[in-house]
Chain A
Amino acid sequence: MAASDYYLELTANPLRFEAGNQLTNVFFDDSNKQVFSVRSGGVMGVVVKGLNELDKPLNFRMEDRGPVLSIKFSLDLKILAVHRTNSSVEFMNFNGVSLEEEYSQSCKKNHKILGFVWTLENEVAFITDHGVELYKVISDKKSLKQLKTLSHSLQWFVWCPVNKIALLASAHGSQLQPIYFKTGTVGKLSRVESMPCKMALERDITLGTLYGTPAFLILRHQSGPQTAEVHIHELSGPGQAPVKTHILKLGMSGRFAINIVDNLILVHHQASRSSQIFDIALPGESDGIVKYHTAVGPAKSFKPASLTVPGLDDNQMQPCELYSPNWVVFQPNIVIDAKLGCLWHINLCLPNLCSVISDLVTCTRLLLRRSEGKIVLLNVLLMRIRQKEPPLEKIREAFNYINREYRTWLEIVLQNQTASPAHDPIRSKPIANGNIIIVDQIEIFNEIFLKLDEESEINKLEWVLIAYLTSLFEYDIKALQNMNELLVTTLVRRQKFTSLQQLLQYGVIADSKTLACILLSLGNIYEAGTQLALDMLSRLNAEEEIQEILLSQGQILTAMKLSPDKKNLRKFLQAAQDSNDEQIFHTVLYYFKNHPTHNAAFKRDSRLDGFIHYYNSLFQDK
């Protein structure tokens, strides 16, 4: 199977548990991410497996007091709560090995418990058809204390353990009421904007977090030829009010399941056995309030997965059915096949995803917000640059997106440096809000430019360097000196001296003494090199170096003019002597002789006597 045929895969080693059957019931607690296998109501044992592979599975027994509806540990794993009847939940303290005696809490009379959630380590909320009852569990006393109640009639609810938010549905799912839990209290948020005559099923609602903001994702099935949509309500309004901000156009209809991985929304479609990926940070058509998104790439199926099953001789690999009707998904990235007894994580294969996104700019913007995006991004860029006709304009645009974030980061660094006088070196790049990765100049230089070192790629190197520098300037970022040097050496390797001259002329290449030396050394093959070097040194006020160059050119008088104190008599006299120009030598010597300060030097420094002798030998006959 070619790599480009999938971009999602299931983890190779799924969590295996005892599959559900007549005797065994399986439960998943998505707060603690634990799978409970309850054999014969607990009498035959309860096995709890966590996602952390290092955790040993918990194994204990409990009394069978009727069929279990739901079973969950408290967040600190010290209290087990079991929901068996409509009116009460039983609690058992757990010491890590076995359970203690049971204590129970009933809800209000004539209320029916729909479910319960652990909101804090020792706080539990019963969600009944009449509202919410919040209790504090006092495990020492084996009793519960009511903290708060909230009345609201509902039919079902969805719970988000990360944000401690629940969505209560009434009127057949056409009215959705979010509530939030905080220590000791529960409160209502503004109601989710409803759509007339639109009902939602429990399985059509996903609660998650997108780029740091809690969000409700609601699948809206359409009638007729229209295809389904996902409406995203972010809790971004005042007082965390939900606001519909994005609509994902699925282009299909049928049964869907949603996961959120690395802030990307994965929408699985059962009928076509394929998944689509959406990123709400990418641009989309907008009506001013709501942005409409299409999938970032074509829909693809999961990478085929297989399970090892113990066979007669040897372990055999058995392919798993993907998109099976037995699949249940949990947030953020969990897929459970209760029949197979497998729990997988969904992995995103970023390189494969990028290979199906043809537009480099979209690809760049996507990768900039992925936690593992940096290496992939650098590889994608390098690959696109290496292709036969690199899309230079797109590459430049991609650099612009990279540098926009880079610039923002540089500003933060600068602010921090000015704010803290202690000069803490801020070496590590902060994972900024919204999961943005920063690709700095050194990384681009090492991972892209230095890799384009083959002779056949040198023209591309020049193009891309120019594109990158343009982008840096666009964001007002000073280019690193080795960028400039690389550009110069590249142009020299390509013998493009005319280009070099023009780039220097327009100030694209920043001045430095190193560069001036490179230019100076070009003098043999490129005449104007010396001129360019002198210009650069003059901009750097490097008068010493200019003097040396002028002296080497035999321009002794100009060099002397440049030296304010002319202290180094020997240097000038020696150069004048080497020039074999009697007149120059005469001029230089007489200038020093006639100057009172310098004249004194002749008396002090016996090394200057040689010049007097030379002078006399030149002129004694004349």
Chain B
Amino acid sequence: MGDETTTSLRNFFIFNPTLGTKEGEELKKILYYHPVTDHVDVQIKNVGLVEGIINFTGTFGVSSDITSLHTQKTRQIFLEAEKNFWMVMILNVPMTTKVKDGVSSPEYLEGAIQDKVYQSVLRQAYFIYRLFWNTFQNTTNKDGVDALKTRLEIFYSAYLKSLKLAHADILNIFSGIQYLPLDKLTFLKVQCLINGLECDYPQVTHTAFLYNDHLIWSSVEPSDMQVLYHYLISTLLPANLEVELQGGSMQRHSTSPFSALRHGRFVTGPSNLKNAKTTGKVPRIYTFSGPTASCYHLIVYRVLSASLCLFVKAEKELDIDFFRKFDSYISPKLTSLVSDIAEYCSKQVSSPSNVPENAPKFIYFNKFNLAYKSTVHLDNKQSGNVTISDEQLKIIADLNTNGSSIEDSTETVVKTLNDYWVVAKTSNYREFYIVEQQRNAHLIDISKDIKTICETELKGIFFQPI
């Protein structure tokens, strides 16, 4: 066996061709370039090549814009995030080395990279930036190109490190939200808490409520929530959990025996309410579902496993008094509510791990509330911790690419060489993928299995009749 490589990032750059139209000013077009170790000439050359391809294909006037370029060793993904602002991600195609007759030759696995998946990765990279810094155009207009460059530099040099390219899959395409299944009474209690909060704190415009990695309630439009959700569960909350585990937040409890009864604290905002003089770091975020972008302070408050996100209009000044008051207001209410939720959840233990090994696995996605559910993925950290093979995951992504309109009811069944069946069904704006292994099975057997699974998993919704 020879060397093997996985999908990895080769280049990542953002440019705007209108910023340097004259010869010799090519460098001005480049707003961000990764890696910085590339010589300026190489940077100009790479950007120039992409620009050339974009211009070239543009002359054909094809209906859809160019999205990717396949070469033997690389895959280039293009995204015109905003008008004239192009984001380009160049990936190394995975490679294995084959030894034949004593001669080793590299073999590039072109099929390993699915355009749609990585386009989603690129789009996500843009959305996350936009969540914190508003649009490229907005920054350019308000603070100038240099400010934009600085922000891009700060943001993406950190962000690119956190990219998990090798395990990107269908979930990147969905970029969905996991909702916590709850009974209506507990859910209504959450609602009442939120309503009370919105009534008592009118400066809070929106709220979102998460339990562990699951969303229970959000008053933000799903399109905005989806970006924020991914930031919360992949970056903010895990980082915070680490601080917690290191005992960073325990200091407060030691000061008084009574403070141990209080479990709440701010994830964004002052870390130590007693001694804090400033409000700490409260990120500003932008939402885009309204007619114009709106800017908010994002305050995240955590009690045990529940996180409460507050959106306060950016114009409102936050002071330490607000945080203190809010803490004493919400902490007792939230603590009792969280124990209700925890109690309900403990009754419904059904994690993917206790499903029998060879039971069919499925992925579900609803286009409207962006809810997804997967028994394929054992966690949502994109660590490649999945219950089906890479090949089947790729088939699912391919099936998703094929299904153009999910309003109509469709059904596609794929049988692989190693007796796996992958079924994709769409209906009523929902997608449902099932993977099952059955030796010597007939299509009828599979249909029967699919029917049972649909009946149990898709209860209470309208999905196409079988």
**Which residues of A does B touch, CB under 8 Å?**
389-390, 392-393, 396, 462-463, 466-467, 469-470, 473-474, 496, 498-499, 501-503, 505-508, 527-528, 531, 534-535, 537-539, 546, 553, 555, 557-558, 561-562
Contact = CB atoms under 8 A, between A and B. Distances in A.
Contact of B429 (A469, A496, A499, A531): A531
Contact of B195 (A392, A501, A502, A561): A392
A111 to B, nearest CB: 67
Q: Say what secondary structure dominates the interface of chain A.
A: helix
Given A392-B192, A555-B409, A558-B409, A528 B461 contact: no
Interface residues of B, number: 39
B369 A562 contact: no
Contact of A473 (B179, B185, B409, B463): B185
A558 B192 CA distance: 40
B407 interface: yes
B464 A558 contact: yes
A501 B218 CA distance: 11
A389 B201 CA distance: 9
A531 B191 contact: no
Given A389-B199, A390-B199, A528-B429, A467 B192 contact: yes
B182 interface: yes
Contacts of B132: none
15 contacts: A392-B195, A392-B196, A393-B196, A462-B195, A463-B198, A469-B188, A470-B189, A473-B185, A496-B219, A499-B219, A501-B369, A531-B430, A538-B461, A546-B462, A553-B407
A531 B365 CA distance: 13
Contact of A466 (B191, B430, B463, B465): B191
Nearest to B188: A470
B146 to A, nearest CB: 38
A473 B408 contact: no
A60 B417 CA distance: 118
Contacts of B288: none
Contacts of A496: 219
A467 B194 CA distance: 11
A367 to B, nearest CB: 22
Contacts of A503: 191
Shortest beta-carbon contacts, A-B, top 3:
A538-B462, A528-B368, A534-B462
Contacts of A546: 462
Given A473-B185, A539-B460, A555-B409, A498 B195 contact: no
Interface of B: 179, 182-185, 187-189, 191-192, 195-196, 198-200, 217-222, 366, 368-369, 371, 407-409, 427-430, 460-466
A555 B221 CA distance: 29
Contact of A537 (B200, B222, B462): B462
A561 B464 contact: yes
B284 to A, nearest CB: 22
A392 to B, nearest CB: 4
Contacts of B220: 498
Nearest to A563: B465
Contacts of A396: 192
Contacts of B199: 389-390, 392, 463
Contacts of A538: 460-463
A604 B191 CA distance: 59
Most buried by A among B366, B430, B462, B463: B462
Most buried by A among B189, B196, B221: B196
A508 B429 CA distance: 22
Given A534-B462, A539-B460, A558-B465, A506 B187 contact: yes
B184 A473 contact: yes
A508 B187 contact: yes
A531 B200 CA distance: 34
A143 to B, nearest CB: 72
A535 B427 CA distance: 11
A465 to B, nearest CB: 10
A496 B289 CA distance: 13
Contacts of A499: 219
Nearest to B197: A392
